[in-house]
Amino acid sequence: MSRTVIRASHVIAYQDGGHRHLKDGVVVYEGDTIVHVGQTYDGPADQVIDAKDKVVTPGFINTHAHLSESPLDKSFVEDRGPRQFYLSGLFEFLSARDGAITEAARRASIAYSIPELLRTGTTTIMEIGWHGDVVAEHAARSGLRAYIGQGYRSGRWYTANGRTVDYEWSEDDGDAAFKEAIRFIERVDGKENGRIRGFLTPMQIDTCSEALLRRSADAAREMKVPLALHVSQSVPEFHEMTRRNGCTPIEWLQKIGFLSERCILGHCIIPGESSWANYQADDIGILADTGANVAHAVWVFARRGIAMESFARYQKRGVNMTIATDTCPQSMIEAMRWTSVVSKIVDRQTQVATAADVFNAATLNGAKALGREDLGRIAPEAKADLLIWQSDSLFMTPLRDPIRNLVFSATAEDLQTSIIDGRVVMENRVVPGYDPVELGRAVQAGAQAMWDGMQQRDWAGRDIEQLSPSSFPAYRG
Ligand SMILES: [Zn+2]
């Protein structure tokens, strides 16, 4: 097996249970595994990577993404959030959009997502969607480490009037899709040297029956796979669940035995005790007590004016907080930055949700959520999932504390090399086999078809300009 030695000015190395700043350090990996970290190394080397004036960090674990649609949020969902649905875009915007996304657009979005993720620090992705085989194919090809879940549910939401959210239930209660999701895991789990893994993901708490959620929790336990679910993601969903069950969504999940350390819940942003719900509860305490993990995707909410109350508070209560991109941009750099800043604003405190906190969330906490002690850290026996950043670029200088610079100042330009499973998957911003110009063209065509198709799917028959007026009116010629 080939042995690679990285000599770097800065290494974020793991020691005594946490990240440490190792100056002038060496990281050695053999095959897919790190074998040595330290100040010196005199052993053999098949390959040496000179990372002078560079920062080597562990790769980021992005715990909630939808590769087949997130790129298509751009130029559409921003600046729009209906007050009737408490600013959530789920019921009008995503409903009009989803049916209008063609198969070609979904495939284009998945391909486009690969370089977007690899150029912004994601080395492990948790993908939730309906195109698991396509994602697995791209993960195999590109080298991305991917946990893939095939979504299923008992019904769907819709609005027929822009005032209420209604539900349409399917006859088989999502059972067929649940079984297909299990077969998918059996088919892909462990492929590509274990880089591709499966997990179960009933889609949303309000679209899944109690029976389906119970079956999911049982199956996840038996199969020893992660279990994801969208929960407490909007005020209408919160109200719907309290109306159905007389308790909060998170209380209900606890009651039906769904919550465990296996759960990775997106987004838990509207717990009972939040000012958004104003419903007497201790949902954050339940999350902490049950060990359920939160996939926090700050941006999809913050850009609409909705903030978690707060990242720092959840963390202080003992909830394992992980970080995710969910929407576009699919950048973990941005996700860490906004997580920190929004929590500081909500808490009106500077010294909370620090660079260290969000960096931990994007690495060690993500690994904990997946039950992986070999991810999210630079230590012997961990997987060689590494990022090499410039330390002397326009954006990264001056540098004393690499983590603060990464969280508050870095751009995708500063990420020079991504290594996953010991394989260089991105170098000098190039992901082999993924031409950004060609991918951009395909996504543009897919988005255009989607924009054109929305009018016939919107409940009020609005076209794209009525649903989401352009920032400035067209220039009159
Ligand atoms: Zn989601």
Confidence grade of residue 196 (pLDDT, cut at 50, 70, 90): very high
- So what's the pLDDT on residue 178? 98
CA–centroid distance, residue 134 to ligand 1 (Å): 18
DSSP state of 474: P
Residue identified by tokens 């997580």 is 339
**In 10 A of CB 179, how many CB atoms?**
14
pLDDT in the model for residue 92: 87
Ligand 1 centroid distance, CA of 443 (Å): 20
437 C-alpha vs ligand 1 centroid, how far in Å? 27
Residue 243 CA to ligand 1 center (angstroms) comes to: 23
Q: How far is the CA of 1 from the centre of ligand 1 (A)?
A: 39
* pLDDT band with cut points at 50, 70 and 90 for residue 26: very high
Report how far ligand 1's centroid is from the alpha carbon of 211 (Å). 22
Centre of ligand 1 to C-alpha 327, Å, is 8
Per-residue pLDDT tens over the stretch 219-236: 999 999 999 999 999 999
State pLDDT tens for residues 144-158.
999 999 999 999 999
**What is the distance in A from the centroid of ligand 1 to the CA of 21?**
34
Could you tell me if 311 and 285 are in contact, meaning their C-beta atoms sit under 8 angstroms apart? no
Tell me how far the alpha carbon of residue 325 lies from the centroid of ligand 1, in angstroms. 9
Summarize pLDDT for 388-420 with one digit per residue, the tens: 999 999 999 999 999 999 999 999 999 999 999
Half-sphere exposure of 415 (CA within 13 A, CB side): 31
CA of 180 to the centre of ligand 1 (A): 20
Residues 422-437: b if buried by 16+ CB within 10 A, e if exposed: bebbbeebebeebeee
Query: Rounded to the nearest whole angstrom, what is the distance from the C-alpha of residue 32 to the centroid of ligand 1?
Result: 30
Q: Is the pLDDT of residue 94 over 90?
A: no
Cβ within 8 Å of residue 194, ≥6 positions away: none
End-to-end CA distance of the chain: 65
Percent of the chain scoring above 90 in pLDDT: 97
Predicted confidence (pLDDT) at residue 315 exceeds the cutoff of 90: yes
CA of 413 to the centre of ligand 1 (A): 27
Ligand 1 centroid, distance to 274 Cα (angstroms): 20
Q: pLDDT by residue (tens digit) across 434-476?
A: 999 999 999 999 999 999 999 999 999 999 999 999 999 999 9
Reply yes or no on whether the pLDDT at 41 is more than 90.
Answer: yes
pLDDT number for residue 98: 81
Would you call the peptide bond into 329 cis, given omega within 30 degrees of 0 as the criterion? yes
Is 289 exposed, middle or buried (CB count within 10 Å of its CB: 0-12, 13-18, 19+)?
middle
> Mean pLDDT across the stretch 359-377?
98
Instruction: Find out whether 359 and 410 touch, Cβ atoms under 8 Å.
Output: no
- Residue 156 alpha carbon to ligand 1 centre in Å: 15
CA 283 to centroid of ligand 1, rounded, Å: 20
Which tokens in the block code for residue 214? 């119970």
Would you state the pLDDT for residue 197? 98
Separation CA 129–CA 417 (nearest Å): 28
How far does residue 396's CA lie from ligand 1's centre (Å)? Answer: 32
Q: Is the pLDDT of residue 95 over 90?
A: no
Mean pLDDT, the chain, rounded, equals 97
Q: What percent of the chain has pLDDT over 70?
A: 100
Residue 376 CA to ligand 1 center (angstroms) comes to 22
pLDDT value of position 132 = 98
Distance 420 CA to ligand 1 centre (A): 25
